[in-house]
A and B are shown apart, each in its own frame.
Chain A
Amino acid sequence: MRFRTLQQLAALCEAEGKTIADLMLEEQAKESGRSPEKEWSTMASYYGIMKEAVRKGLTEDTTSRSGLTGLDAQRVNTYLGSHEASVGEEACRAMAYALAVSEVNASMGRIIATPTAGSCGIIPGVFVSAQERFGWDDDHLVKGLFCAGAIGYVVANNSFVSGAEGGCQAEVGSAIAMAAGAMTELRGGTPSQAVHAVGLALKNTLGLICDPVGGLVEVPCIVRNGFGAVNALAAADMALAGVRSAIPSDEVVTVMYEVGSAMPEKHRETAKGGLAQTPTGKKIMSELNLRRKKP
Chain B
Amino acid sequence: MRFKDVFSIIGPAMIGPSSSHTAGAIRLGRVARCLFGSRPEHADITFYGSFADTYQGHGTDLAIVGGLLDYDTDDPRIPTSLDGAEEEGMDVTFRTSRTPAPHPNTARMNLKGGGRELTVTGASIGGGNIEISSINSFDVKFTGMYPTLVLSHEDRPGMIADITAILRIWNMNIGYMDLDRKSRNGEAMTVIEVDSPISGKLAEQIRSIGGMQEVGVVDLREGES
A residues lining the B interface (CB < 8 Å): 1, 4, 24, 28, 31-33, 39, 42-43, 45-46, 49, 64, 66, 104-118, 120, 123, 145-146, 148-150, 152-153, 156-157, 160-165, 170, 178, 214-218, 265, 268-272, 288, 292
Q: Tell me how far the C-beta of B41 lies from the nearest C-beta in chain A, rounded to whole angstroms.
A: 25
B9 touches A149 (CB 8 A): yes
Q: Please name all residues of chain A whose beta carbon is closer than 8 Å to the beta carbon of B196 when the two chains form the complex.
A: 33
Q: Please name all residues of chain A whose beta carbon is closer than 8 Å to the beta carbon of B53 when the two chains form the complex.
A: 215, 270-272
Q: Tell me how far the C-beta of B195 lies from the nearest C-beta in chain A, rounded to whole angstroms.
A: 5
Q: Please name all residues of chain A whose beta carbon is closer than 8 Å to the beta carbon of B78 when the two chains form the complex.
A: 108
Q: Does B97 lie at the interface of the complex (its beta carbon under 8 Å from any beta carbon of A)?
A: no
A165 touches B126 (CB 8 A): yes
Interface flags, B114-129, vs A, CB<8A=1, else 0: 0000000000011110
B14 touches A118 (CB 8 A): no
A106 to B4, CA, bound (A): 27
A39 to B76, CA, bound (A): 24
Q: Tell me how far the C-beta of B202 lies from the nearest C-beta in chain A, rounded to whole angstroms.
A: 16
Q: Please name all residues of chain B whose beta carbon is closer than 8 Å to the beta carbon of A117 when the two chains form the complex.
A: 14, 16-19, 22-23, 128
B9 touches A108 (CB 8 A): no
Q: Please name all residues of chain B whose beta carbon is closer than 8 Å to the beta carbon of A288 when the two chains form the complex.
A: 57
Q: Tell me how far the C-beta of A163 lies from the nearest C-beta in chain B, rounded to whole angstroms.
A: 8
B residues lining the A interface (CB < 8 Å): 1-20, 22-23, 49-50, 53-54, 56-59, 74, 76, 78-79, 104-105, 125-128, 195-196, 221, 225
A46 touches B2 (CB 8 A): no
* Residue ID in chain A nearest B62 by CB atoms: A108
B19 touches A292 (CB 8 A): no
Residue from A42, A115, A218 in contact with B127 in the complex, judged by beta carbons closer than 8 Å: A115
What 7 pairs across the A-B complex have the smallest Cβ distances?
A: A162-B126, A215-B54, A105-B16, A152-B9, A149-B6, A117-B19, A116-B19
A216 to B125, CA, bound (A): 18
B23 touches A149 (CB 8 A): no
Q: Tell me how far the C-beta of A224 lies from the nearest C-beta in chain B, rounded to whole angstroms.
A: 14
A162 to B195, CA, bound (A): 27
* Residue ID in chain B nearest A53 by CB atoms: B16
Q: Tell me how far the C-beta of A49 lies from the nearest C-beta in chain B, rounded to whole angstroms.
A: 5
Q: Please name all residues of chain A whose beta carbon is closer than 8 Å to the beta carbon of B104 when the two chains form the complex.
A: 164-165, 265, 268-270
A108 and B1 in contact, given A33-B196, A116-B127, A268-B104 (Cβ under 8 angstroms): no
B3 touches A42 (CB 8 A): no
B20 touches A116 (CB 8 A): yes
Q: Tell me how far the C-beta of A287 lies from the nearest C-beta in chain B, rounded to whole angstroms.
A: 12
A78 to B16, CA, bound (A): 25
A115 touches B9 (CB 8 A): yes
B10 touches A66 (CB 8 A): no
